[in-house]
Amino acid sequence: MTVWALGLNHNTAPLDLRGRFAFALDQMAPALQGLRTSHARHPEAAILSTCNRTEVYCASDNAQVDHTLGWLARAGDVPADALRDHTYVLQDGHAARHAFRVASGLDSMVLGEPQILGQMKSAVRAAEEAGALGSTLNQLFQRSFAVAKEVRSSTEIGAHSISMAAAAVRLAGNLFEDLGRIRVLFVGAGEMIELAATHFAARSPAAIAIANRTLERGEKLASRFGGEVMRLADLPERLHEFDAVVSCTASTLPIIGLGATERALKKRRHRPIFMVDLAVPRDIEPEVKQLGDVYLYTVDDLAQVVQTGQASRQAAVAQAEAIIDAGVQSFMHWMGQRDPAAGVVPLIRQLNAQADEWRALELARARRRLAKGEDVEAVLDALSRGLTQKMLHGAMAELHAADPGSREQTTHAIERLFLRGKISAD
């Protein structure tokens, strides 16, 4: 078996391109089915899709990287050659190392952030429910979770982590003198919005509102923070009421458009609006950023803020990498145990090449003798003797050259290799 990972992330692809490859959890089953059936060998598969990355993990007896790239390109309606420039491909130990680093928060925009581990576990559950997760990928991911747990418990990798939500509050504080006087609207009711609402609520804003497609879920979140809930359909008419807007939904199209924002600014008499779009694809049309009284930040815009304090955690990174190294070695050892022949493949190839060379030499000699008119039976007899001598030469030489101490071991090896039929018959 071989494992490969194909992905794009915040380091390799811009936000709008990443948005074309975002998979919601309810899309995972059909996506995984399409991925597997697009490959001739129907590999094990799992898809990790977050605001910062989309990664496809596969396992099969033969790596099919080009097929995986082709499927992903079709899924995002992007030419494969254009997508290739923004992707990375990793195989076997390199793929395992990447998965372990992702789970541990070492490959995140926010070094050490903990949300990615939960997102990976959700991706694995989705793959398992879709019947796409076999023993190899299951082992890879379970080991990645164990490594991540050890990294978090044994190092201080996340001790000073600045989350996207905390970064949003910090930026809002730069714009508004007193966050206790602003009204905040959260669009969506998922994990990221819950985290953002928690951070903003700690600053006791004047009002909190949750706009969500499902009122029941919105009401549950709003009740935690003493806020109100509203329908998404009412958002355009009420947008002007809020000083800060934080949005993160699974919508495939923008929820807040340029026109609605312009109307809201007019009603506010151009008092500024602070907006954070944490969604991939975008929830807020990018043209909104051009408005003079709007301060719009995307997940990529927050990168510089979340890098603050990175230096203080670099010492922990070395410890985490050592834990990951051990995890990779253990996983590759497990892979090797599942395929005992994997370690001797080069030797098998050399043996086949040597045998082909001997065969070619004896055939050439036999053809020359036949061309001279020699007896066919004599030529065939010489051909068989020549092949036999070449095959036995190494064993006979080792047997004669062996010292008394190693002769018994050499004898047993020759018996196993050349007299197996005779031994079994006895």
Question: Residue 5: in which H helix or E strand, if any?
Answer: strand 2-9
Q: Which two tokens stand for residue 109?
A: 């925009």
Q: Is the peptide bond before 79 cis (omega within 30 degrees of 0)?
A: no
Question: Residue 198: in which H helix or E strand, if any?
Answer: helix 191-201
291 contacts 271 by C-beta, under 8 angstroms: no
Cα(299)–Cα(244) distance, integer angstroms: 16
Catalytic residue among 15, 28, 46, 51: 51
Torsion on CA atoms 345, 348, 352, 355, rounded to nearest 10: 160
SS in 3 state form for 75-123? HCCCCHHHHHCCCEEEECHHHHHHHHHHHCCCCCCCCCCCHHHHHHHHH
Q: Which two tokens stand for residue 2?
A: 């071989």
Task: Answer yes or no: 248 catalytic.
Answer: no
231 contacts 169 by C-beta, under 8 angstroms: no
Cα(22)–Cα(426) distance, integer angstroms: 66
Q: Which residues contact 290 (CB under 8 A, 6 or more apart)?
A: none
316 contacts 157 by C-beta, under 8 angstroms: yes
Reference 88, options 57, 124, 127, 134; nearest CA is 57
The residue with tokens 């003493």 is 226
Cα(183)–Cα(166) distance, integer angstroms: 17
Cα(71)–Cα(77) distance, integer angstroms: 10
Catalytic site positions: 51
